[in-house]
Amino acid sequence: MVETYTRLGYQHCCLLSPEETARMDPSCADFCESHSVVVEGVRCWKRGSHALLRPGGCLNTHVFIPQVIAYLTKKMGVYVNARG
C-alpha cells in the first residue's frame, strides 16, 4: 500500500500502529481495540488489519479546477441565467 501511494505522489505515507492510530483519531479507538492484540506488552494489528497515514499535501489548483469545471459541465450542462 505504501509503495502504491508513494508512486501516486503521496510522499509521506506510512503505516501506523494501533496506538498511533487511536492517538491521531480517538474515534478509531474501538476499531483499534477490536482489530488488534497485545503481544508482550505491545498492541499489534491482527492479520488483515492496518492503518495507513496518507497525508493529502497541497492541491494543484491550476490542474484541479479546470478538471472540476469540465466534469461539472459534462454532468450538469451549462447554466443560463434569466438574462441569457
What is the tens place of the pLDDT at every residue in 6-22? 887 778 889 999 999 99
Predicted confidence (pLDDT) per residue in 47-76, tens digit: 999 999 888 766 667 777 888 888 888 888
Q: Is residue 67 in some structural domain?
A: no
Q: Residue 26: inside a domain, yes or no?
A: yes
- Nearest of 59, 53, 68 to residue 20 by alpha carbon: 53
The answer to whether the beta carbons of residues 10 and 57 sit under 8 Å apart is: yes
Residues spanned by the domain of 42:
2-57
Q: How far apart are CA 71 and CA 69, in angstroms?
A: 5
Q: Is 33 domain-assigned?
A: yes
| E strand segments, the chain | 14-16, 36-39, 42-45, 51-53
Residue 59 confidence (pLDDT):
64
Indicate the number of domains in the chain.
Answer: 1
